[in-house]
Structure 1
C-alpha cells in the first residue's frame, strides 16, 4: 500500500479506525466497532494510537494490522 498523504486518504485506507487531528495538531486513531480482549492487548494491539504526522500514523496503523490474527 502506498503511504497516505492526507487525513482523508488515511481514513479511507483504515476504515476500522476513527482518525482525527487534535487541537494541538497531533494525529490520533481509535478503533471503531470492536473491543479488544485482554489477550489482544497483551499481544500489542492498541485501542488508540497517536503520531506526529500522516506517514507516521499510517505506519502505526499498518503495524496494528500486522498484529491481527
Structure 2
C-alpha cells in the first residue's frame, strides 16, 4: 500500500502529482496490488465456476441427498 501524501507535496510538484494520481488511481488497487493482473483474472474466473460437492453431485444425478 502506498502511503498518502500531503497535499502541499503534490501541489508543489505538479508532474509528480500527475504520476502519483495515475499510479494510485488507475494502475494499483488500494492494497498496492496491480489492477492489470492476468493471472488474477483467471483465478477469479475459476472461482466463479462452482464445482459441486459429492452430495450435490449425487442430488443432481438422483434427485435426493439420501
Mark yes or no: TM-score above 0.5.
Answer: no
TM-score range, shorter chain: under 0.3
**Whose RCO is larger (CA < 8 A, sep 6+)?**
1
Q: Which has the larger radius of gyration?
A: 2
If the length of structure 1 is used for normalisation, what is the TM-score? 0.21
More helix as a share of residues: 2
